[in-house]
């Protein structure tokens, strides 16, 4: 039985004051969480997470990482810097980075490798656009995005990452994939992992993301190959995030 992971993706939201209220709200209710819980926050707030979440069961992480180790890369954040703040996770290849920052699947794969080498668990995001889904290309699009990563990591490292299936048309739109639609894609992704490492395919957590909310989480999380959620909007309200965690 795979343990579930509920990870918040705060995106570019938050403030010191608002984060303190949100994290206190989550912490105060979470002593008995039966799943893994994490928040991926804007880099300036990693120190705050470290100070407020150390010693709790909640882990934290970044939303992107540089492929470079250090040097003249203005604006980028190195894996070693995420290590400095005791991050457990880092999101790579979120569709907002792929589309607004032109990140290719090869770059995303290199970022995943960098994260794994640094002891961070990359949450590798894949997902198709509405146009691609309507053209029947969902499996080939997400398959290629995942293959880019699988082709550059060692088989033994497959179990050191998390995959998030996030249909682009469902992110922040209020439209969710039906549990069966999501399950079908998750099964395809798990089969791809199996072709590289059968044992990793058994244990790897494959999250669903895209308008997961308290009222649809239970059904999605009940599907066989859905091992958790990457939560955007609903991770910004303690009550909603906690309700999703309770469904897991
Ligand atoms: P959403 O975002 O839950 O607001 O749709 C999910 C994500 O982009 O990770």
Ligand 1 in contact with 93 (CB < 6 A)?
no
Phi, then psi, of 177 in degrees rounded to 5: -65, 145
Query: Ligand 1 pocket test: which of 215, 233, 235, 243 has the largest number of ligand atoms within 8 Å of its C-beta?
Result: 233
Ligand 1 in contact with 233 (CB < 6 A)?
yes
Cα torsion through 214, 167, 233, 82, rounded to 10:
120
Q: Give catalytic residues, as residue numbers.
A: 94, 166
Domain layout of the chain by residue ranges:
5-247
Ligand 1 centroid to Cα of residue 71, in Å, is 32
Closest ligand 1 atom, residue 171 Cα: 5
Closest ligand 1 atom, residue 164 Cα: 9
Reading the chain (248 residues) residue by residue, the pLDDT tens digits are: 799 999 999 999 999 999 999 999 999 988 777 899 999 999 999 999 999 999 999 999 999 999 999 999 999 999 999 999 999 999 999 999 999 999 999 999 999 999 999 999 999 999 999 999 999 999 999 999 999 999 999 999 999 999 999 999 999 888 888 999 999 999 999 999 999 999 999 999 999 999 999 999 999 999 999 999 999 999 999 999 999 999 99
Ligand 1 in contact with 177 (CB < 6 A)?
no
135-140: list long-range contacts, CB under 8 Å, 24+ apart: 138/167, 138/185, 139/185, 139/188
Ligand 1 in contact with 229 (CB < 6 A)?
no
What is the second-level CATH architecture of the domain 5-247? Alpha-Beta Barrel (3.20)
């Amino acid at each position: 039985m795979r343990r579930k992971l509920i990870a918040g993706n705060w995106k570019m939201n938050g403030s010191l004051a608002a984060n303190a209220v949100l994290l206190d709200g989550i912490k105060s209710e979470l002593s008995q969480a039966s799943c893994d819980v994490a928040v991926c926050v804007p880099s300036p707030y990693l120190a705050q997470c470290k100070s407020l979440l150390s010693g709790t069961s909640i882990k934290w992480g970044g939303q992107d990482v540089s492929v470079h180790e250090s040097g003249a890369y203005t604006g980028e954040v190195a894996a070693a810097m995420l290590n400095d703040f005791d991050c457990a996770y880092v999101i790579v290849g979120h569709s907002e980075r792929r589309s607004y920052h032109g990140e290719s699947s090869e770059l995303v794969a290199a970022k995943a490798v960098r994260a794994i080498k640094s002891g961070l668990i990359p949450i590798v995001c894949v997902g198709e656009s509405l146009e691609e889904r309507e053209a029947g290309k969902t499996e080939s699009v997400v398959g290629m995005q995942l293959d880019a990563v699988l082709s550059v990591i060692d088989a033994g490292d497959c179990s050191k990452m998390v995959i998030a299936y996030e249909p682009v048309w469902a992110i922040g739109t209020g439209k969710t994939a039906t549990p069966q639609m999501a399950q079908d894609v998750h099964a395809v992704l798990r089969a791809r992992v199996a072709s590289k490492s059968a044992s990793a395919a058994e244990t790897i957590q494959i999250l669903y993301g895209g308008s997961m909310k308290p009222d649809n989480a239970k059904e999605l999380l009940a599907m066989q190959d859905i091992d958790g959620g990457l939560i955007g909007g609903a991770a910004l309200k303690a009550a909603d995030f906690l309700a999703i965690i309770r469904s897991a």
